[in-house]
């Protein structure tokens, strides 16, 4: 019997220094704790190249450490057109990221782009605020934690 193909998930924010890497490492830990890590390939990127050469913002690292979420050395990565073909789900942190991704999407690939908080009726059309500007890493963590649980439930019910 052939091995099942993994679900490829890409989290996207503007700079790939706060929200999307937090989502990447939080989701990696979530799938590991639910014994389905072997079914996923998870990564994060930014729509801007302005932070290339940087790592994850220190306060984002501090929040993950505080919550016991392991992470590795993070190098900022920029989203590219090949990501549309490779990833099954491209999950953006805010509506501007969604607009930017949809604008660059080849025909038919915009269906892969989702707003993170659209996963739940109670948070539909809501952005994960950028803690780089707000300074509120608690809010970012809580919204990610809430939504990522819902995304995993969706994947388990529909894709696995």
Q: Considering the domain boundaries, does residue 2 fall inside one?
A: no
Return the SS3 of 43: strand
pLDDT at site 95: 97
pLDDT at site 90: 98
Q: Considering the domain boundaries, does residue 42 fall inside one?
A: yes
Q: Are 56 and 24 in contact (CB under 8 A)?
A: no
Each residue's pLDDT tens digit, 109-141: 999 999 999 999 999 999 999 998 989 999 999
Pairwise CA distance, residues 28 & 71, whole Å: 9
Q: Considering the domain boundaries, does residue 104 fall inside one?
A: yes
Q: What is the mean pLDDT of residues 8-27?
A: 96
- Chain-centroid distance of CA 145 in Å reads 11
Pairwise CA distance, residues 88 & 49, whole Å: 22
Q: Considering the domain boundaries, does residue 124 fall inside one?
A: yes
Each residue's pLDDT tens digit, 41-88: 999 999 987 666 778 899 999 999 999 999 988 888 999 999 999 999
Which H or E run contains 142? helix 137-158
pLDDT at site 53: 72
Q: Tell which residue, 40, 54, 52, 132, has the closest CA to residue 93.
A: 132
pLDDT at site 54: 77
Answer positive or negative: Cα dihedral of 152, 57, 63, 142. Answer: negative
Q: What is the mean pLDDT of residues 23-50?
A: 94
Q: Considering the domain boundaries, does residue 1 fall inside one?
A: no
Pairwise CA distance, residues 157 & 42, whole Å: 18
Q: 119: domain CATH number?
A: 3.40.50.2300
- Residue 118 designated active-site: no
Q: Considering the domain boundaries, does residue 96 fall inside one?
A: yes
User: pTM score, two decimals?
Assistant: 0.94
Q: Considering the domain boundaries, does residue 66 fall inside one?
A: yes
* For residue 2, pLDDT beyond 50: no
Considering the candidates 18, 19, 77, 94, report the single residue annotated as catalytic: 19
Per DSSP, the residues of 11-22 read: EEESSSSSHHHH
pLDDT at site 51: 67
- Residue 130 designated active-site: yes
Considering the candidates 94, 100, 127, 130, report the single residue annotated as catalytic: 130
Token pair listed for 18: 């706060």
Question: What is the tally of structural domains in the chain?
Answer: 1
pLDDT band for position 1 (cuts 50, 70, 90): very low
Provide the residue range defining the domain that includes 81.
Answer: 7-155
pLDDT at site 5: 85
Q: Are 93 and 13 in contact (CB under 8 A)?
A: yes
- Residue 18 designated active-site: no
Which H or E run contains 148? helix 137-158
């Amino acid at each position: 019997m052939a091995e099942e193909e993994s679900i490829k998930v890409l989290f996207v924010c503007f700079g790939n220094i706060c929200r999307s890497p937090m989502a990447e490492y939080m989701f990696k830990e979530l799938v590991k704790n639910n014994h389905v890590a072997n079914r996923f390939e998870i990564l994060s990127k930014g729509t801007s190249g302005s932070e290339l050469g940087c790592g994850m913002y220190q306060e984002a690292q501090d929040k993950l450490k505080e919550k016991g979420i392991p992470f590795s050395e993070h190098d900022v990565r920029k989203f590219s057109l090949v990501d549309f073909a490779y990833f099954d789900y491209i999950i953006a942190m805010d509506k501007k990221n969604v607009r930017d991704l949809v604008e660059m999407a080849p025909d038919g690939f915009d269906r892969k782009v989702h707003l993170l908080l659209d996963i739940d009726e109670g948070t539909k059309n809501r952005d994960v605020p950028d803690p780089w500007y707000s300074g509120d890493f608690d809010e970012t963590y809580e919204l990610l934690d809430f939504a990522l649980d819902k995304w995993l439930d969706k994947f388990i019910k529909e894709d696995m």
